[in-house]
Structure 1
Amino acid sequence: MYLIGWSCAVPKENSMATQLVVGAGYLGSALARALVERGDTVAVATRSGTAVAGATARILDAADAEAFAAAAEGAATIFLTTGPRQYNRWPELWPPMFRAAIVAARRSGARLVLMGNLYGYGEGSPMPMTEATPQHPTEPKGRVRTEGWELALAAAKRGEIQVVEVRASDYFGPGAGRTSQLGSAFFGPLIAGKTARVFGSPDAPHSWCYLADIVATLLAAADYRGSWGRAWHVPAAEPLSRTELAARVNALTGNRGSLARLSPAMLRVLGMFVPFIRAANDSDYQFTAPFVVDAAETERLLGVAATPWEESLPEVIASYRALEAAGLQAQDER
């Protein structure tokens, strides 16, 4: 893990500077709202110019370096919270986005905060994974994320930019959509007392990151005045299997929802014809064995702590019930 000193670039302290959030999906929108609520000037950049209350909407193709640099002009921080929807096309679509973000940070002088994941640690990593765990990706999605991070680190080592990466395990939270392993396809059936179908082993212990804790870590990482050029892990409550989580949901709702595992054989066959499923199968190790993260360093240095299950689960259940009552859909990342 490289540690790049604060001297490699001069952060903008101008109170009129803008915080640029690239992406307005489930996470980007929540981050933008948090920045607005604390009084920051915020711009949200997406392909379609998605509006977030209190923020300026901008249209941006995040793979276009010139457009990205123009959007970042005057920004204090760039939060890259978007990503390609096409899971199977990550190796093709991520590299130009990483390069464009680096160009934008270099030209604008803005600090660059990358929203990352744990794919880069690869199958067979020791548990729990810490920020010091070596990256040795074992499938294409992990490799492209690792390569993008290394590209940004190289720019930081040359003194061109300031960059950190905030890495979270699988997310959940109020209104998370079907693309989340712990989203509407999990909670919806359980809340209704039906069967939720899950990918991987329902009995494998797993770290799950709550939306509010991801946002808090992004904010704290951006405000950190120590060394940059490093990764931070988002704190997670105690690792629980989906079987254990289903039991807790049932206890809170009084229902008898159940889980059924999607057939690995069927997924392998489907993966031969459906690229998205094939890409998901490549990282099934995350859900067939313990997948646990350690964020003690984040808790100690950034002062961010995980929301306990006793608080998060009731909030999530209430959110899906409210959406159902209003006839609305949960939100997927975009």
Structure 2
Amino acid sequence: MALQTILGAGGAVGIELAKELSNYTKEIRLVSRNPKKINESDQLYSADLSDKNQVDKAVEGSEVVYLVIGFEYNTKVWQKKWPELAHSVITACKKHNAKLVFFDNMYMYDRDFLFDMTEETPIRPTSKKGKVRAQIANMILSEVETGNLTALIARSADFIGTHNSVLVELVYKNLKKGKAANWFITTDKIHSFTFVPDAAKATAVLGNNSAAFNQVWHLPTSSSNLTGRQWIELFARELNVKPKTMVLPTWLISFMGLFMPIMKEFKEMLYQYDRDYVFNSSKFKQQFGIEPTTPQQAVKTIIQESI
């Protein structure tokens, strides 16, 4: 069986991806600073991925490499670490003739086209983080266009999952404590969320389908088009509590950023909440026939797993 390697195996996506890859191969290499087995036959490879030589060793022998690492949500960290890592991974994949699957987000898209994001949405990042993502995507696609690399980009909307999710941190956890759910700017706009297990399953499907390479794919995301208010009501209904809500305006987020680093970092992304944010994954659905999890089932699953 062919070896498939996950770079950044300890995160939420990496853990779910390892489970899904076991449907395709028993040769799975998990790479992170402190990797832990997900499947009994997993190969554990401890590496500092900021070291290009360790990246090279981690990639060696792989048929497919999945880059799913998540860096600290900090612009300066992204600007320094992402280009260095992408260059190291691309170089190693070319050297060892490995296919690359890059797990991406939608930060690079033109903010004027968020109402129906597809793989063809114009690239015009207006945030510093978005410019970093655009740079990495361009690095990969440029190598693909010249025929030097076989790769694909798998893009996700914001996550709905048990870890590092706005919905969980600001909606579910607050409602569960009897507090008001928090939302940004307005609750009247649509906001798509990709369920992490769906994203992992689809990434594994793409990585094991030769025809999927050398293009961009949006990962399966519900087309229910719920607004912020409807997401809050959905969690409240499942928790059997009132959907109490506190909307955080821009000025308040700016103030909170003075003493909460994460809010300072998030401020440049607030445009995603003042307009409809609709992530269209119909290309994947048409190609593979896989339906995304409904918001209702995703919320039920998160609550059950959190008990």
Structure 1 length-normalised TM: 0.84
Deviation, 1:199, is 3.2
| Equivalent residue letter for 1:77 | V
Deviation, 1:83, is 2.4
Q: Which residue of structure 2 aligns with residue 261 of structure 1?
A: 247
Q: Among 69, 74, 81, which residue is 1:93 paired with?
A: 81
Deviation, 1:265, is 1.1
Q: Which residue of structure 2 aligns with residue 279 of structure 1?
A: 265
- 1:163 to 2:151 alignment: yes
The C-alpha deviation readout for 1:216-249, integer Å capped at 9, x for no partner, is 2201211223252211001211121221122122
Q: Which residue of structure 2 aligns with residue 132 of structure 1?
A: 120
Structure 1 residues 196, 310: CA separation in 2 closer, same or farther (over 3 Å shift)? closer
Paired residues, what number?
A: 303
Give the conservation status (yes or no) of the 8 Å contact 1:208–1:239.
no
- Give distance in 1, aligned partners of 2:241 and 2:262: 33
Identity of aligned residues (%): 22
- 1:224 to 2:212 alignment: no
Structure 2 length-normalised TM: 0.91
Q: Which residue of structure 2 aligns with residue 188 of structure 1?
A: 173
Secondary structure class of the residue paired with 1:319: helix
- Give distance in 2, aligned partners of 1:189 and 1:273: 20
Deviation, 1:84, is 1.3
Q: Which residue of structure 1 aligns with residue 183 of structure 2?
A: 198
Q: Which residue of structure 1 aligns with residue 295 of structure 2?
A: 309
Q: Which residue of structure 1 aligns with residue 12 of structure 2?
A: 26
- Give distance in 1, aligned partners of 2:109 and 2:157: 11
Q: Which residue of structure 2 aligns with residue 235 of structure 1?
A: 220
Q: Among 35, 50, 55, which residue is 1:63 paired with?
A: 50
Give the conservation status (yes or no) of the 8 Å contact 1:118–1:168.
yes
- Give distance in 2, aligned partners of 1:87 and 1:169: 19
User: What is the root-mean-square deviation in Å for CA atoms of aligned residues?
Assistant: 1.9
- Give distance in 1, aligned partners of 2:145 and 2:25: 32
Give the conservation status (yes or no) of the 8 Å contact 1:191–1:317.
no
Deviation, 1:200, is 3.5
Q: Which residue of structure 1 aligns with residue 35 of structure 2?
A: 49
Deviation, 1:255, is 1.5
Structure 1 residues 50, 194: CA separation in 2 closer, same or farther (over 3 Å shift)? same
- 1:247 to 2:233 alignment: yes
Q: Among 67, 85, 90, which residue is 1:80 paired with?
A: 67
- Give distance in 2, aligned partners of 1:202 and 1:309: 17
The answer for unaligned runs of 5 or more in structure 2 is none
Of structures 1 and 2, the one with the larger relative CO (CA 8 A, separation 6+) is 1
Secondary structure class of the residue paired with 1:169: coil
The answer for unaligned runs of 5 or more in structure 1 is 1-14, 323-334
Structure 1 residues 270, 187: CA separation in 2 closer, same or farther (over 3 Å shift)? closer
Secondary structure class of the residue paired with 1:137: coil
Structure 1 residues 99, 172: CA separation in 2 closer, same or farther (over 3 Å shift)? same
Tell me which moved more, 273-282 or 19-28: 273-282
Give the conservation status (yes or no) of the 8 Å contact 1:220–1:304.
no
Q: Which residue of structure 2 aligns with residue 325 of structure 1?
A: none
Give the conservation status (yes or no) of the 8 Å contact 2:206–2:212.
no
